[in-house]
Amino acid sequence: MTAILPCVRQLLAICLTVVSASVAAERPNIVWIVVDDMSANFSCYGETAIQTPNVDQLARDGVRFTNAYVTAPVCSTCRSAFITGMYQTSIGAHHHRSGRGEKKIRLPKYIKLVPQMFQDAGYHTSLGSWPNTRKGRLGKTDYNFEWDEAVYNGNDWATRKDGQPFFHQIQTPGGKRRGGTLASARRFQKKCEEIFGSATPVSKVTLPPYYPNDPVLLEDWAAYLDCCRYTDKLVGEVVARLKDEGLLDSTVILFMTDHGISHARGKQFLYDEGIHVPLVIKGPGITAGDTRNDLVEHIDIAALSLNLAGIPIPEYMQARDILAADYQPRDAVFSARDRCDETVEHLRSVRTKRFKYIRNFLPQRPMLQPCAYKDAKSILIALREAHKNGELNDLQEKLLFSEPRPPEELYDLQTDPHELDNLADDPKHAATLTELRQRLDDWMEATNDLGREPESTEMFDSDMQVYVDGLRNRKQDPAHLQTILDNIALMKRWAAEGK
């Protein structure tokens, strides 16, 4: 009997190893590709000026969502939301790059970051850039709250144990690659000529009707389209690496952006140019060639990723598993914009398939408030110059430079996809306006929108101090720094005036 026991133990160990390997094989790897500052300008989404074969192939091999929207049109608030599966307004992370100074933002103890939940379930978690040249440093996080870097095991899945499933995020600059000036855009296009053999010509650019056909805007948009081509190239490289390592068939790849193009009416605003994003998911268990036209929110990637890995979705999480067999589609999506850097703002929106309702809580302020980050861009300089010189048409003047602006905006997206004609004062749409106004109120109440209360002076001053000190330490251009200081003073004056 004694001699038999070691054999039994050895057999049991072998069985447990086989079972463990089988369980691991059933748990897919999850790879998120998250791109900065980019709308759905890919050929599989209807863009005709360029070709994006790798994202297109991802869509053919998986599911493409045509109506995916971010809950916040700027990096840090968007990222704070999807890494928790929560609306940024519900967790106090709604002001861009807030909690960075002496005043901190801390999540409720019951809320865990998505990588922590993966890690607790035995996954290797990593966060890197692409190509991964950061010498051990993590990729972009930009979360607006205190968190522990230990939720990530490293910046590459290569450091995982044999057979260990992994959750990896790839962060790539996307639209930021063209920079903010015409000179940097031209340098980037020169690089694209070397890579692709040609850059996107201005002749292929068609600007939305709310922008003038200004040479600066046209060149910038051409360079932006090359950012999309370059991003597509990186997607192909990620897929190739997974294939070379024998991991492609066991990995779910999720491709999305963190908000729309950085432009006057895009990034930082709640028009579709700012909140509509691509979302493509491919991998085991995902139906190939599927197209979903229902409304989804970017925070939903948290819930669906957990469920794909067999990890229970926390009851508190506001994200929904949009891939679940029993999923009930949303009939509306919600977005919010609050302070960005020094520029105080308060916008909320609800979007159904057909209508968009936007509430401007600070209607006495100009449509394009002063913002040093955006105003330093060549495109904004050109727009403000065109406005000053009377070179904009009536529509462009109204949509970009209204002061005051309407307290409410209502758009019929079926007939007006560019959101040009505000129907808020149209008696024919009074019932729709009333309904969406109430839906937004109900959402703010149900989700405990913390932006209903103004940001404290202490938090604003704390964030502005670290913002200004950081620029000084980097020896920022004195004129740019002075603009920020002037804008801070202006925001305080407007607030004191009740504007």
Per DSSP (E only), the strands in 227-369 are 251-257, 276-282, 290-292, 296-297, 333-337, 347-351, 355-360
Q: What is the pLDDT of residue 34?
A: 98
Q: Kindly state the helix (H) or strand (E) to which residue 67 belongs, with its residue range.
A: strand 63-69
Decide: helix, strand or coil at residue 148. coil
pLDDT block averages, 10 residues each, the chain of length 499 = 41 37 67 98 98 98 98 98 98 97 96 98 97 86 98 96 97 98 98 98 98 98 98 98 98 98 98 98 96 98 98 98 97 98 98 98 97 97 98 98 96 98 98 98 98 96 95 88 97 96
Decide: helix, strand or coil at residue 124. strand
Q: How far is CA 64 from CA 61, 167, 272, 291, 296, in A?
A: 9, 21, 18, 5, 12
Decide: helix, strand or coil at residue 480. helix
Q: What is the pLDDT of residue 12?
A: 38
Q: What is the pLDDT of residue 260?
A: 98
Q: What is the pLDDT of residue 182?
A: 98
**Of 294, 368, 359, which is closest to residue 332 (Cα–Cα)?**
294
What structural domains does the chain harbor? Answer: 4-496 (3.40.720.10)
**Of 103, 155, 96, which is closest to residue 129 (Cα–Cα)?**
155
In 3-state terms the chain splits into helix, strand, coil percentages (rounded to 5) of: 40, 15, 45
Q: Are 124 and 159 in contact (CB under 8 A)?
A: yes
Q: How far is CA 207 from CA 101, 221, 222, in A?
A: 39, 8, 10
Contacting residues for 249 by C-beta, under 8 A, at least 6 apart = 284
**Of 259, 265, 172, 260, which is closest to residue 217 (Cα–Cα)?**
265
